[in-house]
Chain A
């Protein structure tokens, strides 16, 4: 029988340590498939942020470095500028990219660095155990906002894709999710486009993936999907915010 589907060679077979219902595993699979299909996995380096994404460091087969918390885009800037032949992507959660790394994220985008950023937004700190993130929804409970996010105290969720869309330099900004097969395919297409932009030296691409965190949302994976679709998508609407890839 002909094999029509197999695990991407860019995942080395080590166990993924992500919680049930977490979408990190799906996104790493998609990244790996794209790298393999584009035949660029041997020239690609991942710069991981700090947080749950670190669980992938022993799982992927391509080159990888861990950046200090929030600094992935600065590390990627240095690597890409010093070695332009390497395909460089950052993989960062919301705490990493939007809180502690806000300056590095925005300035790399503003310089139009020829890198790809994959931003996982689940509205909560995962690895450290459910603290409030810059993207936590109003009213959503977190261990450091036990009464729920209160705008009077905590302000409002940051919309990173929209913020980066204010800048002139970025070429491609899309917000996607992995809540159903159609959206998984859209996410894969967005990731492919973001890497193609880099190969073609077009500049900075951001793919924001709105995901769930069943463990820290205190919901089972099924109910997490419901929360994601009903609440997260309302705050963070999916879609293409900018696509200048055809204009050159």
Chain B
């Protein structure tokens, strides 16, 4: 099982989803994530699953709403501007408590933007992925291996919470090729059992003696909706305790702490490693879940040594910055190193910002 394969990010994610028991995929073409629907079109029929090319992102996400509502592990994917179109359907899934997984391979924005990698959808992913203030667990892979592992886990989280889970990638994660070890393929029996677990609420038909499956994201009574929102709030709060995933590096001695996720984090991390070899005390916080955000990691920074926290993201204006500030709570200044438009952050960009901080003498 530990055989290493050389796979493209999008294909690796699709295969990981199939191995996790995903038996329904609907999507619509958009760059840079076409590898996912193309792979699914070939792969789903081999495992008795369903692939549908929807007539739009809107149709696709609603197909996933319908398929997920049968208890079938279901998935869609898109990129940035396409994710905007899916937002209504995702909000419906969150309200109706339909588990589903979706992938956003972020590209430049706003608008149709560019097709190159960016991290311009952080707010959309973590704060307002649709109307109504719902929340999701958002996993932000930094390598293809991590994308595979997170996709596999995402289906369990979606099932556990009966809530959408987002894999927040970008054009680099979607199209880069890397060696990966794929997770175990769930057997047909396991996949059937996972679906059967949902029979109670799934809208697959119920006998007159059973309670009917009833999924409605709408309420006639304001009190019923308020009670529903309170229940959702309880779910969202539980994530802070149980579901934060983060990588913390050298926080105990760092003069500058970099904060970055996804592709930016790869670049920030390698910058950190090179500069540490040169004797600069750089540390790093890498949120692997950007929602729930690892706010408590910022309490583990040594503020006696830390002169600055540097938010590194491929977004102008900065977006994760606001979560970083909430974590830092004014215990150190927060600066930014940003690129946008589909331009990648380069190591030189990060080095330049760090040097500016170190040479500036800090606080």
Contacts and interface: CB of A to CB of B under 8 A. Distances in A.
A235 interface: no
B205 A74 contact: no
B134 to A, nearest CB: 14
B23 interface: yes
B216 A66 contact: yes
Nearest to B76: A78
Given A9-B208, A78-B62, A45 B203 contact: yes
Interface in B46-63: 50, 52, 54-56, 58-60, 62-63
Interface string A56-75: 01100111111110010011
A242 B215 CA distance: 33
B361 interface: no
A94 to B, nearest CB: 19
Given A47-B66, A71-B62, A86 B54 contact: no
Interface stretch (A25-33, A36-44, A117-125, A175-183): A36-44
B52 A86 contact: no
Contacts of A87: 205
Interface in B1-46: 23-24, 26
Interface residues of A, number: 36
Contacts of A78: 24, 26, 52, 62-70, 74
A77 interface: yes
B355 interface: no
B131 to A, nearest CB: 11
A237 to B, nearest CB: 29
A63 B66 contact: no
Nearest to B92: A68
B218 interface: yes
B204 A85 contact: yes
Contacts of B69: 65, 75, 78-79
Contacts of A82: 23-24, 50, 66-67, 70, 72, 74
Given A44-B205, A63-B214, A81-B24, 4 more contacts: A9-B208, A71-B62, A79-B66, A104-B55
Interface of A: 9, 41-45, 47, 50, 54, 57-58, 61-68, 71, 74-83, 85-87, 103-104, 107
